[in-house]
Structure 1
Amino acid sequence: MEKDLIKLSIEDGIAHVCLNRPSKINALSYDMFVAIDKVIKKLRGDKGVNAVILSGAEGNFCSGLDVKSVANSPSKAMKLLFKWLPGNANLAQRVSIGWQRLPIPVIAVLEGCCYGGGTQIALGADIRIASPDCKLSIMEAKWGLVPDMAGLVALRQVMPKDKALLLTYTADILTAGQALELGLISQVCETPYETAVTLARKIMLTSPDANAAIKRCINQSWTGSIRCLLARESLSQIRLLAGKNRVIAAIRQTKNPDKAYQSRQSWW
């Protein structure tokens, strides 16, 4: 197994996660899928992490699936796709939807290549900040495949169906400007990583419990019924009102703006 496929460091409550296979333009081998999945599980259990910045090493985010490495091992391909129930997420899907399911804001920094599986992973983030040279593509159709890494969960939330079909049918490569116009990314700037750090620090000025509740309510209710949305909002608000971070938020607004929040509550 290759070493250090994912670099993880945690500084001042921000987890910096870097896809680290630069010799292959950070292409996804089976071991890399496993490593990403492990990092997501680790971050879920760390109540002191209040934001995540996801990036790729040496000027590229991810060039997609390393088809050769996976095709050479049918057993690993099966492990990627295996699931106990059809509605569950398999390993290939967890590396995308796993970021959405974290109770923490996740910001993806996209540079250079962001193709196929790389775009699917990026779609799992809450916010995507790209450099002007970034190129993105939903490329699976080029290989006779359907996008099957759960990126469509987010894609249906960020753009109209006809645009999503057009991108997926054609496997066109988009510039950062085109991706921004379509809603595939959130922002284009010359210094995406520094911008992501600034944004993460700004988000962390608010309660980690409130951020977790906001993310859950928006993600789970975006395409759900109004009744489910109303119920989820009410339950989240009751939990927030009963928590200490809500009191701390009020103190920060009225008396002491530097009072520290407590770690995120376990129910998120």
Structure 2
Amino acid sequence: MTTELVTLDIRDGIAYVCLNRPEKMNALNYAMFVAIDKTIKHIAKNRNIKAVIVSGAEGNFSSGLDVKSLANDPIKGIPLLFKWLPGNANLAQRVSVGWQRLPVPVIAVLQGCCYGGGMQIALGADVRIAEPTTRLSIMEAKWGLLPDMGGLASLRQLMSKDKALHLTYTAQVLESEQALNLGLVSEVVNDAMTRAQTLAEQYMQTSPDALAAIKHSINRSWSGSIRQLLSRESLSQIKVLVGKNRVIAAIRQTKDPKKPYRPRQGWW
């Protein structure tokens, strides 16, 4: 599946998603929001995909919202922000929280600039790998806006409220090591794509049912009550224990504990 603004290449169980608007540093216009949303939905329907790597074309992840394009066509703001119920995710929010709802690990490869809406998309990933020259910012306040793409769902789990407020108030541009110290990125390496591929392959050695259950449980329970956490853990464990991949994993461990896990198709 390939569109003008987002490319999707599936190889060996890994979905490589690339934001593809390099002439604008992969800035987000309305059409790009639509393309990302469609790509996430496409991945969700493909049971052969076991991990996702999200990157940006030609050395930048994303410079954020293309404010000029939306200012020139403000009518596009209506479908971008519209939602049937206040608690539902609108199109702008789905390009961030959509990655969290996929039942597979999602890794963001961050290069060049990762600003504003680009940072919100990256926050939707499970792991963020940055290169030393990457620059990151929660930049919406610079344009008189507030972060409204759902990235706060992850940000509140990554750092204290005062630090999140400071970064949002100031729209400060961070170097990758600063972002690492604050928890905005998971690792800083010279070759982020190679590291992301290594991690994806490592994750794929374990049961896809277990990974899906772990991601679901942690994302839903991280900021919930202890009762919600305990209930969700128990329900998730039961589903995994009765699943066909759990039985296969147990047999494999008995026969050869060092052999990499090769799951049958099927998600939790």
Q: TM-score range by the shorter chain?
A: over 0.9
* Other-structure match for 1:263: 265
Residues in 1 aligned to 2:69 and 2:131: alpha-carbon distance in whole angstroms:
29
Q: What's the TM-score once normalised by structure 1's chain length?
A: 0.96
CA–CA distance in structure 2, aligned partners of residues 158 and 88 of structure 1: 23
Q: Which residue of 2 aligns with 1:108?
A: 108
Partner of 2:94: 94
Q: Does 2:50 correspond to 1:50?
A: yes
SS at match of 1:79: helix
- C-alpha distance in structure 2 between counterparts of 1:258 and 1:217, whole Å: 24
Corresponding residue number in structure 2 for 1:28: 28
Q: Which residue of 2 aligns with 1:84?
A: 84
- Tell me the TM-score normalised to structure 2 length: 0.96
SS at match of 1:197: helix
Code of the residue aligned with 1:175 in structure 2: it is E
Instruction: Name the stretch that deviates more: 224-233 or 246-255.
Output: 246-255
Aligned partner of residue 114 in structure 2, secondary structure: strand
For structure 2, which runs of at least 5 residues remain unmatched after alignment?
A: none
For 2:185, the equivalent position in structure 1 comes to 185
Aligned partners of 2:177, 2:236: CA distance in 1, in Å?
37
Aligned to 2:61: 61
State the SS of the aligned residue for 2:201. Answer: helix
Which residue does 2:254 correspond to in 1? 254
Distance 1:117 1:259, change over 3 A: closer
Specify the alignment match of 2:120 in structure 1.
120
Aligned partner letter, 1:261? P
- Which consecutive segments of 4 or more residues in structure 1 shift more than 6 A? none
Alpha-carbon distance, 1:74 to partner = 2.0
Contact 1:251 1:259 in 2 (8 A): no
Q: Does the 8 A contact of 2:96 with 2:120 survive in 1?
A: yes
Contact 2:63 2:117 in 1 (8 A): yes
Kindly indicate whether the alpha-carbon contact (under 8 Å) linking 1:100 and 1:126 is maintained by their aligned counterparts in 2: yes
Q: Once the 2 structures are TM-superposed, how far is the Cα of residue 258 of structure 1 from its aligned partner?
A: 5.0
Residue 205 of structure 2 contacts residue 262 of structure 2 at CA under 8 Å; is this kept in 1? Answer: no
- Aligned 1:123-142 pairs, distance under 5 A: 123-142=123-142
**Amino acid of the structure 2 residue aligned with 1:201:** E
Looking at structure 1, the residues matched to 63 and 32 of structure 2 have their Cα atoms a distance apart, in angstroms, of 13
Q: Deviations over 1:146-176 (max 9, x none)?
A: 1000001100000011100000000000000
Query: Retained in 2: the 8 A contact 1:63–1:113?
Result: yes
Distance 2:252 2:191 in 1: 30
Query: Paired residues, what number?
Result: 265
Cross-structure match for 1:194: 194
For the Cα contact (< 8 Å) 1:71–1:77, is it kept in 2?
Answer: no
Q: Please tell me the root mean square deviation across aligned C-alpha atoms, in Å.
A: 1.2
Alpha-carbon displacement from aligned partner over 1:45-102 (angstroms, at most 9, x marks no partner)? 1111110000000000000001111111122111101111111110000000000111
